[in-house]
Structure 1
Amino acid sequence: MSGGRRQHAVAVVAVVVVVVLGACGRRGNPVPPETRFPQAVNDLTAVAREGGIELTWTVPRRRFDNSRILEPGVARLFRVDDAGTGDPRPALLHGDRIRGYTQIATFRLQEPPSPYLRGGRITYIDRSGLVFGRRYTYVVLTTDAQGRTGPPSARVSVTYIAPPEAPGALRGEPTDRGVRLSWQAPATLVDGSPVRDPLTYEVLRAPDPVAAPTVIGRTNPGVTAFEDRGLENDRTYYYAVRAVRSADKMTAAGAASERIAVTPVKTTAPAPVAGLVAVPSRGEVRLSWQPSREPDVATYILYRAAGSAPPARVGAVRPPATTFVDRNLRPGTYRYTVTAQDASARANESRPSNEVIVTVP
């Protein structure tokens, strides 16, 4: 190779080396931001209740990239308070905290979970240093087991106003598949001041004496009665009522009343039995009738009367039987009827069937 060609080859190699080395210093494709942190809580609610502010939210089950959170960590609740003028303090994430907010509670999401966590939702009552008239703003942060913290929830603010005292004299009247409730309105708030505006009421029901009651209905302002329908007869339900005060777009719910137990009962008797027929013979009368169409008939009751005497019960049979033999009768004339009795606790009995009159030889 000539000297000129060798110099040219060396120059080409040098250029290639420079280009390769230069490429090593270039920035590659942009690295996507972290997407494995938990999604933000999106349903935080706060309600002023007797003795505190109740906060409820659903724990996020997915990350920002929509993958499932297999190893949850903790949820943390932050609070700030002010006089209630202007906008609440913004919720700015600073490290793993909210700038200017105070952390007031931590909830373990791993096994064993916090006792405040039930069915994927956290319910917590803040009772720490609350002052009537102050506005309290809350934010939640969720952190997974790897220490990755999601963005703050939306802020929720509530002004802590005095709630009403508990309603009094709660009464329950059982009906057919229902319960009628009535109560007395509280006259004062928990701070001793009088109730000036009509209150609304939340009606709570539980399936047993120890279960936590749930809200099943709300009344209009000033209404102190409620009817619960569509229940199961002969089953006991447990009720309580709490008053809710609204003032200047602020809401506060008071303590629940004492619980009462009410058992709905069937009050409607079966339809009368039809088609009663009597066939007399020596010393006895054979009776038959059409079966009742009522699904809960438990017993057919037979009545007999002689002369002008009132009817007296002489026997009973259970469905599907629709016959009865009245024996050991003396000769004479007798009147018969049959009724249907249901299986409810009250044992409702129908009106008598058609009357038949027979003469026993």
Structure 2
Amino acid sequence: MTRRGRGLAPCLGLALLALAACGKKAQPVAPEVRAPQRVADLTGAVHDSVIELAWTPPVSRVDSTRLRDLALMRVFRVEDGGSGEPKAAMLVDGRIAGYAEMATIHADEPAPAFARGSRLVFADRQGLTFGQRYTYAVIAGDSRGRIGPPSARVSVTYVPAAEPPVDLVAEGGEREARLTWQAPARLIDGSAPTDPLAYEVLRAPSVDAEPTTLTRAPIAERAFVDRALENDRTYYYAVRAVRVVSGTTAYSAPSPRVAVTPRDMTPPSPPANLVAIPSERTVRLTWSPSPESDVAAYVVYRAAGGGAFERVGSTRAPTATFVDRDVARGTYRYVVTAQDSAARPNESGRSNEVRVSVP
């Protein structure tokens, strides 16, 4: 073999190996591992006259890669009398065998579901019968029609919720709202409650805004104090009753909302060390300011002889002097008070009283 032939031999060998490699197919990916992951947090409860389901749409595929094309979710239901284990949720041909499909929810237009934060909420109101157990499961599919495994089942026994609490009253205080209410007399089926009721307190920033639940868990008391609020801002409250029967939580509809506005109700400390210096038809006053940071003004009062005090002027804080002009000859008494910056200003008690004679 020539020198040139010996140089080409390794190159030809590498080329043949490359051609052989190009002929091999990549390992196929099973369709089920590219399907959306199962819904992991399906919950269900009775809300007034419906069964409300909530869950977080999946964001990953079964193989843990990111799911960017979630297309739809389907809600399935089966009902029974409540004895024994609910029917298993088995996926067959893109459906849950033995379950009835209740809704198809599209990711880009979720109605009849709606978003509540990061979760979707669906209200089932179709053919519900008190005492029946309803078991639900949800499946999710992507834009290529790949269907993920069913969610864990959630079972809800349809029990009558209470009517809303009544006589909700809210009173504002210093950065707080105090609520009281009365228990409902009936359940929505007209019967009287035979088991203890608990309550959830809801608060919204406006009359139309979605409320949030303030109580971490339902409370037995029919009173609640909401603290650490912002003074001079209006809050809207409602309360709903909660029953727990046969492992099912049943929430009443919320009571009508009531509005309350917390107020700054703490007056400043009185000014101190008031001094009055009279001169012809003039009295100059000075004092030590009140220590509070929210003092907005000082109010000056004057009384002639033994008469009643009358307001004669004011000055904006932090100024702590005032000149009372055009004062007729005579003997006068002076005091000063402080006012804060609240929407409804709080006025302090009086400073020390001083007496002067104007020449």
Indicate the TM-score class for this superposition, using the shorter chain for normalisation: 0.7 to 0.9
Is the CA contact 2:45–2:248 (under 8 Å) kept in the aligned structure 1?
A: no
1:204 aligns with 2:230: no
Tell me the residue number matched to 1:275.
273
Tell me the residue number matched to 2:352.
354
Tell me the residue number matched to 1:229.
227
Report deviation, 1:129: 0.6
Is the CA contact 1:76–1:106 (under 8 Å) kept in the aligned structure 2?
A: yes
Report deviation, 1:269: 1.1
Tell me the residue number matched to 1:126.
124
Tell me the residue number matched to 2:92.
94
Give the 3-state SS of the residue equivalent to 1:329 in structure 2: coil
Tell me the residue number matched to 1:5.
none
Do the aligned partners of residues 249 and 72 (structure 1) sit closer, same or farther apart at CA in structure 2, a change above 3 Å counting?
closer
Q: Distance in 1 between the 2:235 and 2:71 partners?
A: 38
1:39 aligns with 2:37: yes
Q: Distance in 2 between the 1:219 and 1:117 partners?
A: 23
Is the CA contact 1:176–1:268 (under 8 Å) kept in the aligned structure 2?
A: yes
Q: Where in structure 2 are the equivalents of 1:279-358 lying within 5 Å?
A: 279-358=277-356
Deviations 1:175-233, CA, capped at 9 Å, x for gaps:
11111111111111111111122210111111111112221125533x21111111111
Tell me the residue number matched to 2:237.
239
Tell me the residue number matched to 2:8.
none
Q: Distance in 1 between the 2:202 and 2:101 partners?
A: 32
Q: Distance in 2 between the 1:28 and 1:106 partners?
A: 38
Identity of aligned residues (%): 53
Do the aligned partners of residues 198 and 113 (structure 1) sit closer, same or farther apart at CA in structure 2, a change above 3 Å counting?
closer
Amino acid at match of 1:261: A
- TM-score (norm: length of structure 2): 0.88
Is the CA contact 1:137–1:155 (under 8 Å) kept in the aligned structure 2?
A: yes
Aligned with residue 165 of structure 2, among 167, 178, 186: 167
Is the CA contact 2:76–2:137 (under 8 Å) kept in the aligned structure 1?
A: yes
Report deviation, 1:53: 0.7
Is the CA contact 2:297–2:318 (under 8 Å) kept in the aligned structure 1?
A: no
Tell me the residue number matched to 1:188.
186
Is the CA contact 2:202–2:212 (under 8 Å) kept in the aligned structure 1?
A: yes
Do the aligned partners of residues 152 and 298 (structure 1) sit closer, same or farther apart at CA in structure 2, a change above 3 Å counting?
same
Report deviation, 1:348: 1.1
Which region of structure 1 is more displaced relative to structure 2, 324-333 or 64-73?
Answer: 64-73
Unpaired runs of 5+ residues, structure 2, are 1-23
Give the 3-state SS of the residue equivalent to 1:310 in structure 2: coil
Report deviation, 1:320: 2.4
Q: Distance in 2 between the 1:47 and 1:201 partners?
A: 15
Deviations 1:77-134, CA, capped at 9 Å, x for gaps:
1111111101111111112111111110111112x55461354310111111111111
Give the 3-state SS of the residue equivalent to 1:163 in structure 2: coil
Which region of structure 1 is more displaced relative to structure 2, 344-353 or 81-90?
Answer: 344-353
Aligned pair count reads: 333
Report deviation, 1:300: 1.1
Q: Distance in 2 between the 1:105 and 1:294 partners?
A: 60
